[in-house]
């Protein structure tokens, strides 16, 4: 039973345009969400997070939007750069990501940014 779903295995965009990566979740107890980026042969690195008390969080070129009623979040990258090409994982946790609650990850979306 997949509680965090990334329905697009891959996405291709042109350099300079917006990349939108989507994530849906089914567990209504989830209240803390994160995005990780992973290059081949490396471990995932943290990008940005959002708590359920917010509907938007921005960090430079990266913005995460949360729609609690739809159980949907998205990551916007503007403008996209070739170095952004990687696999992006959505993750979620209950208890505000607090102690003893593990993250549940989606299957990932491979983003390719073409020069």
Partner 1 sequence: DVKVTQSSRYLVKRTGEKVFLECVQDMDHENMFWYRQDPGLGLRLIYFSYDVKMKEKGDIPEGYSVSREKKERFSLILESASTNQTSMYLCASRTGQGGGYTFGSGTRLTVV
Interacting residue ranges for partner 1, rule: CB under 8 A: 6, 9, 32, 34, 36, 38, 41-46, 49, 89, 91, 93, 95-103, 105-108
Q: How far is the CB of 16 from partner 1 (least distance, A)?
A: 29
Rounded to an integer, what distance in angstroms lies between the CA atom of residue 58 and that of residue 101? Answer: 25
Q: Are 114 and 15 in contact (CB under 8 A)?
A: yes
Q: Which two tokens stand for residue 39?
A: 């290059």
Q: Closer to partner 1 by CB, 79 or 101: give it.
A: 101
Q: How far is the CB of 108 from partner 1 (least distance, A)?
A: 5
Q: Closer to partner 1 by CB, 15 or 57: give it.
A: 57
Q: How far is the CB of 4 from partner 1 (least distance, A)?
A: 9
Q: What are the C-alpha distances in Å from 112 to residues 3, 6, 23, 89?
A: 25, 16, 17, 14
């Amino acid at each position: 039973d997949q509680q965090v779903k990334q329905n697009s295995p891959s996405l291709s965009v042109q350099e300079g345009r917006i990349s939108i990566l989507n994530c849906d979740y089914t567990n209504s107890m989830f209240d803390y969400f994160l995005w990780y980026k992973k290059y081949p042969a490396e471990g995932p690195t943290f990008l940005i997070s959002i708590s359920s008390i917010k509907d938007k969080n921005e960090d430079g070129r990266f913005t995460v939007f949360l729609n609690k009623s739809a159980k949907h979040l998205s990551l916007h990258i503007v403008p996209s750069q070739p170095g952004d090409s990687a696999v992006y994982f959505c993750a979620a946790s209950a208890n505000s990501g607090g102690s003893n609650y593990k993250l549940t990850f989606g299957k990932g979306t491979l983003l390719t940014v073409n020069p």
